[in-house]
Amino acid sequence: MDVTRRDFVKATAIAAALAAAGGSLATLSGCAQGGQSAQTTTGESQIHTAVCRFCGCGCGVLVETRDGKVVSVTGDPDNQSNRGLNCIKGYYLGKILYGPDRLTKPLIRDDAGTKGTGSGLREAEWEEALDLVASKLKETWKADKSRLAFWGSGQQPITEGYLTAKFWKAGLLSNNIDPNARMCMASAVVGFMNVFQTDEPAGCYEDLDNADVFITWGANMAEAHPMLYSRLTAHKLSGDNVRHYDLTACKTRTSASADKVLIFKPGTDLAIANAIANYLIQNDKYDHQFVADHLQFKTGSENIGNAYEDGYDQSEQGSTVDATTPCSFEEYAERLSEYTMEYASELSGVSVEDLTELAGLFADPDLRIMSLWTMGVNQHNRGTWMNHNIHNLHLISGKYGKPGSTAFSLTGQPSACGTAREVGTFSHRLPADLLVANEDHRRFTEAIWDLPEGYLDAIAKPGFHTIKLFREMSNGNIDFLWSAHNNWAQSLPNLTRFLGMDGEHEGIYNTFIAVNEVYPTVTTDYADVVFPVAMWVEREGQFGNAERRTSVFEKAVDPPGDAKWDVWVLMQVARRVLEGETINGEDAFTHLFGFIWDAQADGFIGDDREINRAIWEEYRIFSNPQLKESAAAINEEKKLKMEAKQLAPYDEYLTQHGLCWPVREVDGKWMSTKWRFANGDQAEGFDEVGIAQYGTQGLAGDVSWYKSTDQKPSVVFRPYEPPAEEPDEEFPFWFCTGRLLEHWHTGSMTREVEELNRALPEALLYMNGEDAAGLGLADGDMARVTSRHGTFDIKVSTSGRVDPPAGLVFAPFFARETMVNLAVHDYYCPLSKETDYKKTCVAITKA
Question: Is residue 68 part of an annotated ligand binding site?
Answer: no
> Environment class of residue 434 by beta-carbon count within 10 Å: exposed (0-12), middle (13-18) or buried (19+)?
middle
What whole-number distance in Å separates Cα of residue 103 and Cα of residue 125?
13
| 89 touches ligand SF4 by CB under 6 A | yes
Dihedrals phi, psi of 105, to nearest 5 degrees: -130, 145
What whole-number distance in Å separates Cα of residue 743 and Cα of residue 224?
10
| 544 touches ligand SF4 by CB under 6 A | no
Question: Is residue 813 part of an annotated ligand binding site?
Answer: yes
Question: Is residue 602 part of an annotated ligand binding site?
Answer: no
| 57 touches ligand SF4 by CB under 6 A | yes
Distance of CA 138 to CAs 101, 107, 451, 457, 545, Å?
A: 32, 20, 21, 21, 35
* Residue 767 CA neighbour count, 13 Å, CB half: 27
- Partnered with residue 240 across adjacent β-strands are none
Question: Is residue 246 part of an annotated ligand binding site?
Answer: no
Of the pair 187, 624, the CB lying nearest Mo ion is at 187
| Other beta carbons within 10 Å of 326 | 12
For residue 577, give the 3-state DSSP assignment: helix
Q: How far is CA 685 from the centre of its chain?
A: 33
Select the residue interacting with ligand SF4 from 15, 18, 59, 215 (CB under 6 A). 59
| 227 touches ligand SF4 by CB under 6 A | yes
| 413 touches ligand SF4 by CB under 6 A | no
Using CB distances below 5 to 8 A depending on partner kind, what does residue 223 bind out of ligand SF4, ligand MGD, Mo ion, none?
A: ligand MGD
Contact 373, 385 (CB under 8 A): no
| 94 touches ligand SF4 by CB under 6 A | no
Question: Is residue 687 part of an annotated ligand binding site?
Answer: no
Using CB distances below 5 to 8 A depending on partner kind, what does residue 52 bind out of ligand SF4, Mo ion, ligand MGD, none?
A: ligand SF4
| 485 touches ligand MGD by CB under 6 A | yes
User: Nearest Cα to 837, choosing from 427, 245, 377?
Assistant: 377
What whole-number distance in Å separates Cα of residue 216 and Cα of residue 255?
9
Using CB distances below 5 to 8 A depending on partner kind, what does residue 362 bind out of Mo ion, ligand MGD, ligand SF4, none?
A: none
Of the pair 628, 816, the CB lying nearest ligand MGD is at 816
DSSP state string for 264-305: --TTTHHHHHHHHHHHHHHTT-S-HHHHHHH-EEEEE-----
Question: Is residue 268 part of an annotated ligand binding site?
Answer: yes
Question: Is residue 269 part of an annotated ligand binding site?
Answer: yes
Cα–Cα–Cα angle for 269, 727, 844, rounded to 5 degrees: 120
What whole-number distance in Å separates Cα of residue 39 and Cα of residue 434?
51
- Partnered with residue 103 across adjacent β-strands are none
Stretch that binds ligand SF4, among 17-25, 50-58, 759-767, 809-817 (CB under 6 A): 50-58
> Binding pattern to ligand MGD, positions 115-154, x when CB under 6 A?
--------------------------------------x-
- Cis geometry, peptide bond prior to residue 722 (ω within 30 degrees of 0): no
Q: Which residues bind Mo ion (CB under 5 A)?
A: 184, 412
Stretch that binds ligand SF4, among 81-89, 153-161, 298-306, 549-557 (CB under 6 A): 81-89
DSSP state string for 818-840: S-GGGT----B-TTT--B-TT-E
| 552 touches ligand SF4 by CB under 6 A | no
Of the pair 219, 583, the CB lying nearest ligand MGD is at 219
- Partnered with residue 74 across adjacent β-strands are 62
CB of 362 to ligand SF4, least distance (A): 29
Question: Is residue 736 part of an annotated ligand binding site?
Answer: no
Residues 6 or more apart in contact with residue 656 via CB below 8 angstroms = 648, 670
| 87 touches ligand SF4 by CB under 6 A | yes
DSSP state string for 113-179: GGTTTT--EEE--HHHHHHHHHHHHHHHHHH-GGGEEEEE-TTS-HHHHHHHHHIIIIIS----EEE
Question: Is residue 690 part of an annotated ligand binding site?
Answer: no
Question: Is residue 52 part of an annotated ligand binding site?
Answer: yes
| 766 touches ligand MGD by CB under 6 A | no
Question: Is residue 728 part of an annotated ligand binding site?
Answer: no
| 739 touches ligand MGD by CB under 6 A | yes
> Binding pattern to ligand SF4, positions 667-696, x when CB under 6 A?
------------------------------
Contact 469, 179 (CB under 8 A): no
Select the residue interacting with ligand MGD from 163, 165, 219, 546 (CB under 6 A). 219
Question: Is residue 829 part of an annotated ligand binding site?
Answer: no
Question: Is residue 86 part of an annotated ligand binding site?
Answer: no
| 86 touches ligand SF4 by CB under 6 A | yes
- Ordered alpha helix ranges (H), 539-649: 566-578, 588-593, 608-620, 625-629, 631-637
CB of 223 to ligand MGD, least distance (A): 5
Secondary-structure breakdown of the chain: helix, strand, coil percentages, each rounded to the nearest 5:
35, 20, 45
Of the pair 52, 295, the CB lying nearest ligand SF4 is at 52
| 255 touches ligand MGD by CB under 6 A | no
Select the residue interacting with ligand MGD from 80, 248, 466, 673 (CB under 6 A). 248
CB of 649 to ligand SF4, least distance (A): 25
What whole-number distance in Å separates Cα of residue 291 and Cα of residue 397?
8
Of the pair 499, 756, the CB lying nearest ligand SF4 is at 756
What whole-number distance in Å separates Cα of residue 401 and Cα of residue 382?
25
CB of 81 to ligand SF4, least distance (A): 9
Select the residue interacting with ligand SF4 from 84, 94, 226, 790 (CB under 6 A). 226
CB of 152 to ligand MGD, least distance (A): 9
CB of 218 to Mo ion, least distance (A): 14
Contact 716, 195 (CB under 8 A): yes
Catalytic positions are 89, 184-185, 375, 412-413
Select the residue interacting with ligand MGD from 677, 838, 840, 843 (CB under 6 A). 838
| 484 touches ligand MGD by CB under 6 A | yes
The single-letter DSSP state of residue 558 is P
Of the pair 252, 679, the CB lying nearest ligand MGD is at 252
| 55 touches ligand SF4 by CB under 6 A | yes
| 242 touches ligand MGD by CB under 6 A | no
For residue 207, give the 3-state DSSP assignment: helix
Distance of CA 447 to CAs 172, 250, 598, 637, 641, Å?
A: 18, 51, 23, 10, 11
> Binding pattern to ligand SF4, positions 635-654, x when CB under 6 A?
--------------------
Question: Is residue 314 part of an annotated ligand binding site?
Answer: no
Torsion of CA 419, 421, 423, 427, to 10 degrees: 120
What is the distance in angstroms between the CA of the first residue and the CA of the last residue of the chain? 55
Contact 56, 408 (CB under 8 A): no
| 634 touches ligand SF4 by CB under 6 A | no
Positions in 350-409 near ligand MGD (CB under 6 A): 374-377, 379-380
Question: Is residue 821 part of an annotated ligand binding site?
Answer: yes
Using CB distances below 5 to 8 A depending on partner kind, what does residue 227 bind out of ligand MGD, Mo ion, ligand SF4, none?
A: ligand SF4
What whole-number distance in Å separates Cα of residue 65 and Cα of residue 67?
7
| 487 touches ligand MGD by CB under 6 A | yes
Binding region for ligand MGD (CB under 6 A):
55-56, 153, 155, 180, 183-184, 217-220, 223-224, 248-250, 252, 266-267, 269, 374-377, 379-380, 412-413, 484-488, 491, 516-519, 521, 533, 535, 566, 736-739, 741, 743-746, 748-749, 813, 820-821, 824, 837-838
Q: Which residues are annotated as a binding site?
A: 52, 55, 59, 87, 89, 155, 180, 184, 267-269, 375, 379, 487, 566, 813, 821, 838
Binding region for ligand SF4 (CB under 6 A):
52, 54-55, 57-59, 86-87, 89-90, 226-227
Q: Which residues are annotated as a binding site for substrate?
A: 813
